[in-house]
Structure 1
Amino acid sequence: MKSEKTILIDSRWAGNTGIGRLYQEVINYAPSALSYEYVESKMGLGNLLTPLMLGEEIKKSNADVFYSPSFMPPAFSKIPFIFTVHDLMHLFYYSKLHKIYYEQIIARLAKKAQKIITVSHFSKNQLVDILGIPDALIKVIYNGVDGHFLENNEEYESDHPYFLYVGNRRKNKNIPAMLTAFANAKIPNEFMFYLSGNPDSELEPLINSLGIQKRVRFLGFIEEQDLPKLYKGAHATLFASLMEGFGLPVIESMASGTPVLTSSTSSLPEIAGGAALCVDPTEVSAIQTGIEKLVNDEVFYVECVLKGLERAREFSWEKTAKETWDTILSKSF
């Protein structure tokens, strides 16, 4: 007779992304009293047939519950399933097909879940208001911040003070507006703007037209272990996104003792918790004024450092993982 409970996990999400980070931390803190199986299919993460594939994986498994760290639920399931919806970006910043798929397929399947986890109250409200998911079905569990950010004392070696952006180049990230605000800001020319990733064909013409070629540096792929000192060395982090479900760079930067300029919209004020400078991301002049304030107002700058450190200590991956496993196991068996 089977004694220990078995969890089937969609491990395809492992990798160097925000979702991959959540997955890894949840697995790191997995209860030892359980046994685990993993989805065997190598189907691509964006494949529209993923729900059918997950249903088949569940059908052939002896697991008691299915868990996925991201938005794809199974099309059918003989066991309870729990999955995480980080945001509804697909409805706003992807193709029309993505929007239809999310509204007609994902939303309908989601209502069959035992529980849906999301990463902010902003995202929860969107799930309820836009997709019609019942409020009681949704559990908000914040992402965490690694203790290395709080403990690190090393700084990235730079010949100039710099602002930092960490993230991808999707439209919601609002990078052109941040570059324009940086170029217009009345701050010393010694200040640089460092961005993760490589140069791309969309940003380079803008950078050239703004005349800041020598003040912008692309850092390429950044290894996870290098992030703390990169944040630590920055004068401030710029993260004025148009929409975020959570925004990991906000708390990673604050945990590093580095002030954050972020948006006054979506989940970002919620996550910042009054410890960051929040501006209207649709107004380049507002971002510009914020950059100038972080350079010229020393008292405000120090307040941001202290408040940010205090706020960051409220987040931990151990707490995130514990709440996630409590949700997975609650009434599952």
Structure 2
Amino acid sequence: IQMRIGIDARTMFAPHPRGTGRNLFDAYRTLSALRPQWRFVLYHRRDRRAAELLRTAEGAGFLDAPNVQAVRIDCPGDRWDLWLHLRLPLRARRDGLDVLHTPANAAPANCATPVAATIHDLIPLRVAGEVDENERRRFRRRVERTVRVARRLITPTAATRDDLVQEFGVDPLRVSIVPWAGDSRVQSIAGDPAVRRRAIRRIREKYDLNRPWLLNFSGDSARKNAHRIVRALAAIPRSLRTNSMLVMVGCEPGSLRQELQCAAGEAGVAEHCRFLGFVPHADLPGMICGAAGVLLPSLCEGFGLPLVDAFACGTPALASRGGALQEVAGDAAEYCDP
């Protein structure tokens, strides 16, 4: 059976892709190799030369595959999200797709092509103060539209599926639970002892990590619990802190790094902390493999991809109790009250 599948690949073409973009890249790179008779059309709106994932050898090989086509759709500005609601569905119809996959909590308002939509989480509706009230209403309308338009809904966890059922009355039979896979680069490096040692050595030298480090993937959202992590470090006896450090990556914008640095200084643990912005994707395997532990005490997550990457490296993990994180990690992690 031949299939022609279109993907809203904007997250894959981002200059600094987060978990969604990296996972989408790995998923379709694998699927295109497993199904050479299918055709995959990657719709995007950025210059591919700016996409970190696609500048790698793996990225170039993916885009050069005979059954993969990257299609840039230009749309000046972003008023009314015309790229998603007008340009994308028109191009999907023109290209005669069998299905259009929208992987980021949204779908076109009207689409002649059957849509399969991924809903990662309902965090703006579940976590008080995550967004302002206007954005909260916009998010609800976006998910309502996606639920109405999509022929099939995909979630990474049963927790998100259950949230959809509770919040929007979705028939659970319309939902396929497809967990994320770990980062392919992390897995390949973790599985080769010599490569793993070189990767860890390079990370120690590049970031001057001269002590065992605990790794956290942060961000500007309060649900990531960055300030509480700093306070928790300060609560650890000094004798245990002396030979360790906390490394937080993804601390963007720069003002967040300044806030955390000030908080660490006030708590007396600044010398034990390293607050980094976005780090190159190529550095993540060495950071995770070399870490003494991965910390993910978030107030809420839709999946928790760092946990899966930590397990691939054999790195211990600490996560928040309950919800999607405990569903993903099972008995393989330690848990805390965030």
Structure 2 residue aligned with 1:201 = 258
Is contact 1:55–1:75 with CA below 8 Å preserved after alignment? no
Structure 2 residue aligned with 1:102 = 139
Structure 2 residue aligned with 1:85 = 119
Is contact 1:12–1:42 with CA below 8 Å preserved after alignment? no
Deviation string for 1:191-218 (max 9, x for gaps)? 2111114552332221121111111112
Name which of 85, 91, 116 aligns with 1:57: 91
How far 1:227 sits from its partner (Å)?
A: 1.6
Distance 1:238 1:45 in 2: 36
Name the aligned partner's letter for residue 41 of structure 1.
I
RMSD between superposed Cα atoms in Å: 2.3
Name the aligned partner's letter for residue 251 of structure 1.
V
Structure 2 residue aligned with 1:148 = 188
Change (3 A) 1:105 1:239: closer
Q: Percent identity?
A: 26
Deviation string for 1:85-130 (max 9, x for gaps)? 1111232312222221222342133233121111111111111111
Distance 1:176 1:265 in 2: 21
1:139 and 2:176 aligned: yes
1:37 and 2:41 aligned: yes
How far 1:188 sits from its partner (Å)?
A: 3.5
Distance 1:148 1:110 in 2: 37
Distance 2:169 2:329 in 1: 27
How far 1:55 sits from its partner (Å)?
A: 3.3
**3-state DSSP of counterpart to 1:262:** strand
Is contact 1:118–1:140 with CA below 8 Å preserved after alignment? yes
Structure 2 residue aligned with 1:25 = 26
**3-state DSSP of counterpart to 2:5:** strand
Change (3 A) 1:136 1:45: farther
**3-state DSSP of counterpart to 2:149:** coil
Q: Could you tell me which runs of 5 or more consecutive residues in structure 1 were left unpaired when the two chains were aligned.
A: 282-333
Is contact 2:214–2:295 with CA below 8 Å preserved after alignment? yes
Structure 2 residue aligned with 1:261 = 318
Name which of 266, 276, 288 aligns with 1:231: 288
Is contact 2:107–2:149 with CA below 8 Å preserved after alignment? no
**Mean Cα deviation higher: 257-266 or 46-55:** 46-55
**3-state DSSP of counterpart to 2:331:** coil
TM-score, normalised relative to structure 2: 0.76
TM-score, normalised relative to structure 1: 0.77
Distance 2:225 2:82 in 1: 31
**3-state DSSP of counterpart to 2:154:** strand
Distance 2:10 2:123 in 1: 20
How far 1:162 sits from its partner (Å)?
A: 1.6
Structure 2 residue aligned with 1:302 = none
**3-state DSSP of counterpart to 2:20:** helix
Distance 1:265 1:47 in 2: 37
Change (3 A) 1:214 1:42: farther
Is contact 1:166–1:195 with CA below 8 Å preserved after alignment? yes
Is contact 2:190–2:289 with CA below 8 Å preserved after alignment? no
Distance 2:234 2:105 in 1: 37
Name the aligned partner's letter for residue 216 of structure 2.
Y
Change (3 A) 1:234 1:94: same
Is contact 1:119–1:143 with CA below 8 Å preserved after alignment? yes
1:218 and 2:219 aligned: no
Distance 2:308 2:36 in 1: 29
Name which of 147, 150, 157 aligns with 1:113: 150
Q: Could you tell me which runs of 5 or more consecutive residues in structure 2 were left unpaired when the two chains were aligned.
A: 44-71
Deviation string for 1:238-295 (max 9, x for gaps)? 11000001111111112211111110032111111111111110xxxxxxxxxxxxxx
Deviation string for 1:133-187 (max 9, x for gaps)? 2211111111111322541432343321221112423211111111100111122
Aligned length: 279
How far 1:190 sits from its partner (Å)?
A: 2.3
1:271 and 2:328 aligned: yes
**Mean Cα deviation higher: 174-183 or 147-156:** 147-156
Structure 1 residue aligned with 2:53 = none
Is contact 1:12–1:45 with CA below 8 Å preserved after alignment? no
Structure 2 residue aligned with 1:247 = 304
Name the aligned partner's letter for residue 176 of structure 1.
H
